[in-house]
Amino acid sequence: MSMKPKIWLSSPHMGGREQDYVAEAFATNWIAPLGPHVNEFERRLAEYNGVGHAAALSSGTAALHLGLILLDVGPGDAVIVQSMTFSASANPVAYLGATPVFVDSEPGTWNMDPEQLERAIVESRARGLNVKAIIPVHLYGMPAQMDRIGTLAEQYGLPLLEDAAEALGSTFDGQKCGSFGRLGVLSFNGNKIITTSGGGALIGNEAALIEKSRFLSTQARDAAPHYQHSHIGYNYRMSNVLAGIGLGQMEVLDDRIAARRAHYARYVALFRSFEALGYVFEYQEEDTRSFSNRWLSCVAFDPARNGGKSREGLRLALETENIEARPLWKPMHLQPIFTSAPMYANGVSERLFDQGLCLPSGSNLTESDWERIEAALRAYFD
Ligand SMILES: *Cc1c(COP(=O)(O)O)cnc(C)c1O
């Protein structure tokens, strides 16, 4: 039996003009981590996100690392991080010798629970930790409750470093995710909603901070004819060739969001038809204030309420059909690397990790992919 072609969770989807921009970089010999495409990509990112400034970098992880440095995080400090996320939200805290303090999710958005956040701030301070920043995440594109989180940040005098790596184009109260924090982080990794193969950006309204991130990302060279350094530098700038890919991708970003949102709507309609059979599912539902780019469509369900049907059962059923699906991010407080970090828990992220599945969500899924996905889901639940 020949294997059906693989249906991926989220694969790169070029718009068509990327190679023109890349060819232009070659034709003008701007094959370097600087150049006109980098400048133009930054301009478009700032404009799209409604912020004053953007620095194009080699990855979202690099943006988080520089963001923490700019917020003066150092050895022995503490940074509050959403536990349910990809490890790249938390690793840069460890790069700096600081301690992550993890905060659980709330059921609606699956993002940082404001009540646990407040507990984490108050109790960390009472324990003598020097809390320097808060990293909320917009998981799978769903905006966190930025009003409540922003109010707490202000009340306790803490800056937000907003991890919007999965949420380019998502909004809360009409404002773009990534633009709420003192600094925001974007990613253009190969699996994200748009990609430069690998890349990221740090965005914000403070010119001095973003300019300093560019300085640090290009080896922190002081203004001198020789190589002179008064800061530790990094090699984190985006290549002008890759920024060309980014320029092409920006032209189709809103189409990509529309396609992913249509996939989500199609999944929910299908799962609602299973609910009519008695199943019970949980989704990341928007409310009147939030708009998700639906980077990944996810569903969670409890075997005890669904006749033993489980996330893992469904994942394996899809795998048999060569359809990729993945459990939600394993929370950071359950990761071997972070077992000793403090955690403000309410049980939500552990439950979601046990019960949640990310479904194929690429903007390049075809109708025949969809037929296979729907058939596999029906076969499992009908
Ligand atoms: C992808 C991702 C990152 C890291 O971005 P890279 O560009 O891959 O370094 C950070 N945080 C979250 C939540 C992500 O999904």
- Matching CATH number, 254-381, of 2.30.38.10, 3.90.1150.10, 3.40.50.300, 1.20.140.10: 3.90.1150.10
Give 57-86 pLDDT, tens digit per residue: 999 999 999 999 999 999 999 999 999 999
To test the pocket of ligand 1, the residue of 163, 195, 238, 332 to mutate (highest count of ligand atoms within 8 Å of its CB) is: 163
For residue 64, the ligand 1 atom closest to its alpha carbon is 10
**Cα 177 to averaged position of ligand 1 atoms, centre (Å):** 14
Q: Residue 250 pLDDT > 70, yes or no?
A: yes
Residue 135 makes CB contacts below 8 A (sequence gap 6+) with 64, 79, 80, 81, 82, 89, 90, 93, 160, 161, 162, 163
Give 280-333 pLDDT, tens digit per residue: 999 999 999 999 999 999 999 999 999 999 999 999 999 999 999 999 999 999
Name the CA dihedral angle for 140, 141, 146, 149, rounded to a multiple of 10 degrees: 20
What is the reported pLDDT for 182? Answer: 98
- Matching CATH number, 18-252, of 1.10.3720.10, 2.60.34.10, 3.40.640.10, 3.30.750.24: 3.40.640.10
Residue 177 makes CB contacts below 8 A (sequence gap 6+) with 138, 143, 146, 162, 164, 167, 168, 169, 170, 171, 184
Indicate if ligand 1 lies below 6 Å from the C-beta of 297: no
- CA separation for the pair 299, 269 (Å, rounded): 12
For residue 89, the ligand 1 atom closest to its alpha carbon is 11
Give 167-219 pLDDT, tens digit per residue: 999 999 999 999 999 999 999 999 999 999 999 999 999 999 999 999 999 99
**Domain range annotation of the chain:** 18-252, 254-381
For residue 192, the ligand 1 atom closest to its alpha carbon is 1
Q: Residue 1 pLDDT > 60, yes or no?
A: no
**Cα 59 to averaged position of ligand 1 atoms, centre (Å):** 8
**Cα 306 to averaged position of ligand 1 atoms, centre (Å):** 33
pLDDT band at 94 (very low <50, low <70, confident <90, very high): very high
Indicate if ligand 1 lies below 6 Å from the C-beta of 57: no
For residue 85, the ligand 1 atom closest to its alpha carbon is 13
Equal fold, 18-252 vs 254-381 = no
